[in-house]
Amino acid sequence: MALPIAQRWFESKRIDDDVTLLWEPYVVPLMRCNIWHVRGRDRDLMIDTGMGVASLREAARHLLEKPVTAVATHTHMDHVGGHHEFDDILVHEIEAENLRSPSGMDTLITADWDPADVIALEGVGYAVPPELVTALPAHGYRLEDYKLQPARPTILVQAGDMVDIGNRHFEVLHLPGHSPGSIGLWEEASGTLFSGDAVYDGPLLDELPTSSITDYLATMARLRELPVHIVHAGHDPSFGRGRLVELCDAYIRRREARAA
């Protein structure tokens, strides 16, 4: 069946004075990541960039008046597809090589995926459809031609590094488990956490080939103690501290019960 052509690939919604959420409505829910634009006094952040099916830079042109750093919360294809369009790219040093030479689930056709990935996703209740998009970004676009473009990381970070955009200061939290180099950006002054896929309000993935349940348990124990006001996650709606504690506790209960 032929896919329709999308009028507009990205949608966006202003969340507050400085934060805008962008997303790709024609990417299937499983892979539809939250792209967070944060406006700073000196520089902006683009936290994750979606699938790279269409140009994020072009779609976000109205937001990009200042130099911008594209942050990779981690390097799964649904988060780093647009990084190659940016000159300044920040990633945890452990996953930098994945940006330089992408590999893995690098296709829109899930029959080509590693069966281990499909099992991990279906195991927690996600539907894995044959194709990852429900429309095409332009006439003549061929799903077979999709490829994650290599990107050049310029800022390699580790736990405790600071990301300064002038009026706002974010601490890099290393939050491994979902992936080895997963990071969150934590702004203590406002209690804002950009959490990537370390925690979101949906089924968490800890059995992908590079996931670690042991690391994930430690990450959850840590996140549980963070005095957050709001969590802007890699997927699903944002939430506050009460929900964060529930999500952490549910994860810890589920995994510790299995280990016992």
Catalogue the E-assigned strands of the chain. Answer: 11-14, 19-23, 35-38, 44-47, 68-71, 88-92, 155-157, 162-164, 169-174, 183-187, 192-196, 230-233
**Interface with Zn ion, residue 197, by CB under 5 A:** yes
Does residue 78 interact with Zn ion by CB under 5 A?
A: yes
3 state DSSP class of 12: strand
Rounded to the nearest 5 degrees, what angle is found at the Cα of 82, between the Cα atoms of 77 and 83? 95
Span 231-260, contacts to Zn ion by CB under 5 A: 234
Q: Taking the CA atoms of 5, 49, 73 and 250 in sequence, report the sign of the dihedral they define.
A: negative
Specify the stretch interacting with Zn ion by CB under 5 A; choose among 45-53, 77-85, 139-147, 248-256: 77-85
Of 38 and 51, which CB lies nearer to Zn ion in the complex structure? 51
- How many residues bind Zn ion (CB under 5 A)? The answer is 4
Least distance between Zn ion and beta carbon 81 (Å)? 11
CA end-to-end span of the chain, whole Å?
A: 48
- Cβ proximity to Zn ion: between 67 and 209 the closer is 209
- The minimum distance between CB 256 and Zn ion, in angstroms, equals 23
d(CA 98, CA 151): 9
CB of 73 to Zn ion, least distance (A): 8
Give the nearest distance from C-beta 30 to Zn ion in angstroms.
9
DSSP 97-155: HHHHS--SS--SBGGGS-HHHHHHHHHTT----SBSBSSBSSTT--GGG--PPP----E
Task: Quote the least distance from Cβ 84 to Zn ion, whole Å.
Answer: 18
24 touching Zn ion, by CB under 5 A: no
Q: Judged by CB under 5 A, does residue 206 bind Zn ion?
A: no
Contact segment (CB under 5 A) with Zn ion among 12-20, 133-141, 157-165, 195-203 equals 195-203
- Which of 83, 63, 61, 62 lies closest to 72 in space, CA to CA? 83
- Here's the x/- map for Zn ion, 100-129, by CB under 5 A: it reads as ------------------------------
Sort residue 257 into left (φ over 0), alpha (ψ -120 to 50) or beta: alpha
Which tokens in the block code for residue 88?
């300044």
Q: How far is the CB of 70 from Zn ion (least distance, A)?
A: 16
The answer to the question of residue 76 lying near Zn ion (CB under 5 A) is yes
Which listed range, 39-47, 74-82, 147-155, 156-164, lies at the site for Zn ion (CB under 5 A)?
74-82
Binding site for Zn ion (CB under 5 A): 76, 78, 197, 234
